[in-house]
Each structure stands twice: as C-alpha cells, then as structure tokens.
Structure 1
C-alpha cells in the first residue's frame, strides 16, 4: 500500500512537471560582437548587457502566447571581421533565434543586416554608427544610438566654435565606421572654415603610426581627428608623445571613447588632449543610467566600456515588441517593433521609419587627470 502511494505521488509529480514544461518555452536572443582579438573588451561589455537583460527578463516570468518564456542568449563571436560577421548572422538565422542584438562594428553590421533581412529576423544595434546601415530602410534593421552624422558633426562644431581651432589633420582606419565618422568630421570642419592640412590612412590591426604622424607633424595642425577604435588610438597617443606633439588636440568618435583607452595610452600626456563623442546621454543623464551602472559594476566589475546599456535596452525592446504582439514569431512582432515607444535605461526609444532612433542625443568627453568626464 505504501509503495502504491509513493508510486502515485511520484507519477503525480512527474505529470505536474510535464505540464509545467509544456507551459514553458525557451526563446533565444542572438548576440554578436568581437569576443576575440583587440576589440574583445567592447564585445564582452556588449554581451554582458544582453546577459543582464536576459536575467532580468527571466525574473519577470513573462507569458507570451499562453506560455511562460525562458529567455536564453546565443552569443557569437565575429572578431570584428565582416566575413565572420555574416557567418555568425547566418548561424543565428539557421538557429531560428527570435531576434538579434548586434553587431558592434559598422563593417560587420552592414553586411550582416542583409542576412537578417533575407531570413526575416530583426536585429538592433546599440553600437554600429555608420549611417549606411539604415539606408535600405529594411524593417529588420534598428539602431538605438546616434549615428556618425551626429558624432562627427558634434566634434567638428566643438573644434571650430568652442576651441576656435584652424588646422586639422584626419586619419582613419579604412573601416566602414572609421571612414564614415572621419568623412563627416572633415566635411563639417571644412564647412566651418577649418583647414584640413592632411589626410592619412591606417588599418584596424596597426600599432605603428610613426610614419603618418611624422608626416602630419610637418604640417603643424592644431588637432588630429582619428576615425577608428581604441586599440589603435591608445598607441597613437603614446607615439604623439614620442614625437613631441603633446600640444595637439586628439578628436575621435565613440570607438576611442572608452575606459580601456586610459590603459592603452600607457600614461601618455596626449591622453589629456582627447575629445571624443558618444551617441546617447552620459550615464548620469540617462533615465536609469546611474542605478543600472551600479548593478552592472557589481555583476561585472571592471568590464564596463560604452555600449552595454544600449545592448541591455535593445534586448528589452525586442521582448517588448513580442509582448505587445503576443508572439515570438518575427513576422508577427516586427510591425510592433516598428511602433516601439519604450522607456529604457538609455532613453525613451522610438524609431524613425528607417529604423534610426528618434531624437538621438550625443555627448562629448575628455580625459583629464586620467579620468573620463563630460566635456565642458
């Protein structure tokens, strides 16, 4: 009799577990960024933002289509390489993830966007800033950060109007991001009457810039604009010191506007001359930035760079559209994604018809006393 009772109880528990499992559904959100190579610190920060969002979403026990959703991340490494980026995108398409947060670099995001469009999966980037990303107007492509038109122009206007600089040299790393932001800076600077005394090129793997900096030195610029990432920006600052160019301002977009550049600059005096721009408000001015950053630092100490608040919000924006559509099927929730009006950590997120963020803010920063702070 006792055995029968135990067996009956065990069967009842098993049946209950079966019902619970039937009422739960695993939904994967893809994430792509460089998790290896010189830009891995950006990629890990971005991934942390998504993981934090996934954890918070699971705590909410969200029901969609009558089932409790268990959210999971499928993280892929594109190593900041366009070919690996499209391969990662195809892998996520084949895995039938519900949506994607990424990529980091414009050079990987632009070709990956076509892959997502062709397989009908929406992606939101909180990092890639080249304006060409949204030119096709695909309903699968979204950005929740300012693009290079805003960043490059803001820096050039600051150089001309605030600092009254007259001569500038421009360097870019030949990537979609670096070329894009440098070109906007150059055109805006020229429209303000600044003279572009030299234009040089490097690549996103280089570490020796002595030849191009020596060439620029002979032209005696007031400032250098660098379109690229901190892995090159840091060594460039050290080499400016070596050439005695410690009185030259050093401008750049969000690619150099990191905590990591302090370390990469290796104590260079030229770090004090950096003026960089980020899409979005400063953490202190974001609607939920300060409290969110405290949580992030407890969970991922010393890993914050720039974009994790945006990847966090991007994850929530995807899920918010699914909730409103009551469906995890991209075909059904994309129309709701287009009509997003979401109060995030970074901003109130509303999209333009082409997928750009409405009323996107930008903020300029400097590195005084070895600390990153909002420019005056």
Structure 2
C-alpha cells in the first residue's frame, strides 16, 4: 500500500482512493483529429484556408465543452503539411496514424488524398476529403474514404456543357498539369465535349510547377480553338491565362475548382476576366450557412475564404456528429457511424452513398468581372 494511505484511517484512505479514481475517470480526454494539406509551396494559400476551416470548427466545439460517453472531450488538431506531393502525403498520413488520430480531414489535393487513403484504410481511420475531386479516391473500395465535394465525373461534364451550350464552342484545346486532379478533370472534360460532337484539336501536358507556358500556347494560338480548358491549380492556371492574353489568344479559358479561388485575380491579372471556372459544390454565397460562416471566418483569421474552408469546417462537425451517435471516440466506432451520416451544416445537407460520395452533389460555375468572382449558375448532378 502507498505509504501515505498506510498512515490514514480506513475511512480516510478510502476517501483518497475514491477521489483519485473519480478524478481519473472524469479527466478531460484529448482527442486528435488529423488534417493534411499543402501548407508550403505554390498551393499553400489554399491548404492554409482549408486548415483554417477545420481549426475554426475545433475551437467552436471546444468552447461548447463536448461530452462523449460521460467524459469531457477536448479536440486537438494534428495539422500536417503534404506539400502537394504524393510521397509526402503518405509520410504525413502514417505520422497521423502513429499520433493516434481518431479521424482525418484531407487533403484538398487528389494527388495526395489518393495515396494516403490506403494508409488510413489499413488503420481503420475515417478520412474525409474537403477538396479531392478525382473519382478514383472513392472507387478504391476503402470503407474509410469519404468526401464532401462532388467529383470530376460531374465537374468535367458540367464545364463541357457550358463550353458547348453557352459558349457555342465547336473546337477545343486542352492542357493539364499531369497531376491526379488536373489530368483527371481534363480527361472527364474531354469525354464530355466529344460526346457532344465538339472537336478536340490538342491535349497537352505540363506540370504543377510550371511557370512558362508560351511554347504550348503559341502552338494553340495557331490552332485557333473556340475555348481552351486548363486542368490544374490557380498557382499555374493564373500565369497560364495571363500568358495566353499576352499572346493575343482570345479563346475563353475553362477551368475547375483548383483555379476557381479568390487569389486568381492576383495570379492572372486582368486575364482573370477571360476565365470561366467551376466548383464541385454549392457556391459560398448560396450555402445555407454561408453568410454566417464568412463573418466568423473573417473575424477569426482576418482574411477572405479561398475555397475549401467551409468544407473542412463541416467535415469536423460530421466527425463529431458520428462520435455523438457512437457515444465513443474509438476510431472503429466512429467509422461504423459514418455511412448513416445525415448532417445539416454550412455547405448544406450531407449524406453519403455506398462509395462515400455525396448523394446530392452540385456544380457551381463562375466568371470573373474586374477580378471579382461571380456566380453564373448552379447545376444539380
């Protein structure tokens, strides 16, 4: 027996033991939620925006004092930088597993989300992507994989529809950045325009670190397409559009959600106004909780939302909702509750199909006027 307890009366010793046991039983439980995204490099502004959304949700939940299974739970964000690199993505995924996270949000990049998915599947840990749109992510068959955005199988055809039906394009040129995201979106777009009878004049590949597109664009100028589709992120899509304008190319440029950010005007200059882009979700201005979220986000971080913050914010709440229904913070029990998710949040109603995709996805289409992002249309898919 402990020397201190030995000196106490039986009643005193019992009291000390009871206090020690109850203190241990009801002590705060620290529960880690992982998050990974590019926090350095060309896409850092998008990754930090994504992480900010998750951080805001965690701060709110902690302020309300979450209780699971009769025990107070304090959430902790385990944030990791995947540098938009597939190999780094798998390294940080394993690190989060080793850190004991109960669920993970990330990445907003298909190129890192997809290879990391196997690691989370092997560990039995829920992974919710707020921005990976490549269809392959949820076609791998992993029961741990979910996403709160639409897919390129929806986004590519939506862009194709706009190009053919609204812009009346009969010929197109396509350029992608050779990543899982850019290449996948471009491929879906190409299928869409061909299905509608348009002619694809060329399909070129660059890379996600490129800064000079003049060689490709000079050749495309000679082809004189009605529209050009660019599959990639804003860090390269902005310069691509700027250099196209400098070469006197008048064709409208179509792009996906990777390009469709608030930072695009800084990256493309006045050429931004020649871009039409899509998002694989509801426009922020049309989200049920969008206005309130914008106010909270700007107050907390003193900057505008880029694109994925509301999705990662809802992803945290979806994980906590699963914890509450499971009455547990055990990863296996959280996972077991995920298929029955029916959550109403900032982005709208979230329910998942058997693959982990949204049951009711939408695609929003935008253009830029004097550098300001403006909604054109919302397409239900």
TM-score (norm 1): 0.93
Residue 131 of structure 1 deviates from its aligned partner by 0.1
Match of 1:260 among 246, 259, 263: 263
Deviating 4+ runs (over 2 angstroms): 18-23
Q: Which moved more, 1:207-216 or 1:236-245?
A: 236-245
User: What secondary structure sits across from 1:287 in the alignment?
Assistant: coil
1:227-252 CA-to-partner distances (Å, cap 9, x unmatched) read: 0001111111111122111x210000
Residue 57 of structure 1 deviates from its aligned partner by 0.8
- 1:9 aligned residue: none
User: What secondary structure sits across from 2:189 in the alignment?
Assistant: helix
User: What secondary structure sits across from 2:56 in the alignment?
Assistant: helix
CA distance in 1, matches of 2:331, 2:358: 20
User: What secondary structure sits across from 1:23 in the alignment?
Assistant: coil
CA contact (8 A) 2:26 2:72 kept: no
CA contact (8 A) 1:233 1:256 kept: yes
1:144 corresponds to 2:148? yes
Residue 303 of structure 1 deviates from its aligned partner by 4.3
Residues 21 and 294 (structure 1), Cα distance of their counterparts in 2 relative to 1, 3 Å cut: farther
Q: Which moved more, 1:203-212 or 1:291-300?
A: 291-300
- 2:77 aligned residue: 73
- 2:316 aligned residue: 315
Aligned length: 361
CA distance in 2, matches of 1:70, 1:34: 26
CA contact (8 A) 1:139 1:338 kept: no
CA contact (8 A) 1:137 1:355 kept: no
Match of 1:101 among 98, 102, 105: 105
Q: Which runs of 5+ in 2 are unaligned?
A: 1-15
Question: Within 5 Å, which residues of 2 pair with 1:139-178?
Answer: 139-178=143-182
- 1:45 aligned residue: 49
Residue 199 of structure 1 deviates from its aligned partner by 1.1
CA distance in 1, matches of 2:69, 2:95: 26
CA contact (8 A) 2:134 2:151 kept: yes
CA contact (8 A) 1:230 1:257 kept: yes
- 2:252 aligned residue: 249
1:104-128 CA-to-partner distances (Å, cap 9, x unmatched) read: 2101000000000011111100101
- 2:210 aligned residue: 206
Residues 21 and 234 (structure 1), Cα distance of their counterparts in 2 relative to 1, 3 Å cut: farther
- 2:274 aligned residue: 273
Residue 166 of structure 1 deviates from its aligned partner by 1.0
User: What secondary structure sits across from 1:218 in the alignment?
Assistant: helix
Q: Which runs of 5+ in 1 are unaligned?
A: 1-11
Residue 302 of structure 1 deviates from its aligned partner by 2.2
